[in-house]
Amino acid sequence: MALFFFSSPSSCSSFLPISTNTPPLFIPKNNRFFFKSLKCSISNSTKYNPIPCFSSSSCKLEHIVTEFKSLSEPIDRVKRLLHYATLLPGFNELDRVSSNKVTGCTVQVWLDVSMDEFGRMRFLADSDSEIMKGFCSCLIWLLDGEFPEEVLKLNIEDLDVLNIGLYGRANSRVNTWNNVLISMKKRTQLLVENDLPSLYMLH
């Protein structure tokens, strides 16, 4: 196992160039605390090139938007989402309960939201739709491990580039992943309101 360390870049454009053949995100399965680290662990057997880790949600957002814009064909974007679906961290079967279901979705989506001891938000999600798993994987890559204010300031419009679909299914998919993001923000707000004293002690 090789470790690659990256210093903070001055801008997102200093990262490796985006290739349609090399997915820029690498999310190990079953490791929800991956994003707390600033080092990337890449197996020698992986077919992907080493990639830098991202230390801010704004930089990750710019990167993923640029990536999907570089995929001109809708089918290529769908394929990329299906790839990210395979990288979605595992979801505990015990958390697959009605209180964790995201309402208003055309497919089933479960979302687990918590705040760790450092005041950072932790997200896990799952769906019975592979494409929706891909959307969830992107959202989790963007927001897991961020402080609440970073989660709350992300707007749906910032991710318009992910509004893809085939044969008229786009609207239902957009509504579903929008509902997932809205649920992430609402549950974050609730946790903040219920944990304000401890948050003040942390900062």
Q: For residues 112 and 187, is the Cβ–Cβ distance under 8 A?
A: no
Q: Is the pTM above the cut of 0.75?
A: no
Residue 45's domain is classified under what CATH number?
Answer: 3.90.1010.10
More confident residue, 192 or 10: 192
pLDDT level of residue 57 (50, 70, 90 thresholds) = confident
pLDDT level of residue 24 (50, 70, 90 thresholds) = very low
DSSP 7: P
> Which residues, 6+ apart, have CB-to-CB distance to 172 below 8 Å?
106, 165
Q: Give the residue carrying structure tokens 């830098």.
A: 52
Q: What is the pLDDT of residues 83-97, one digit of tens each?
A: 999 999 999 999 999
Count how many residues are written for the chain.
203
Query: How far is CA 17 from each of CA 59, 63, 68, 117, rounded to the nearest angstrom?
Result: 14, 10, 13, 35
More confident residue, 169 or 78: 78
Q: What is the pLDDT of residues 98-133, one digit of tens each?
A: 999 998 888 999 999 999 999 999 999 999 999 999
More confident residue, 42 or 153: 153
Please give the positions annotated as active site: 105
Q: What range defines the domain where residue 15 resides?
A: 2-202
The token pair that represents 72 in the structure block: 């001109």
CA distance 6 to 26: 15
What pLDDT does 2 receive? 40
Query: Total domain count for the chain?
Result: 1
CA distance 203 to 25: 30
Report the mean per-residue pLDDT for the chain: 73
What pLDDT does 97 receive? 94
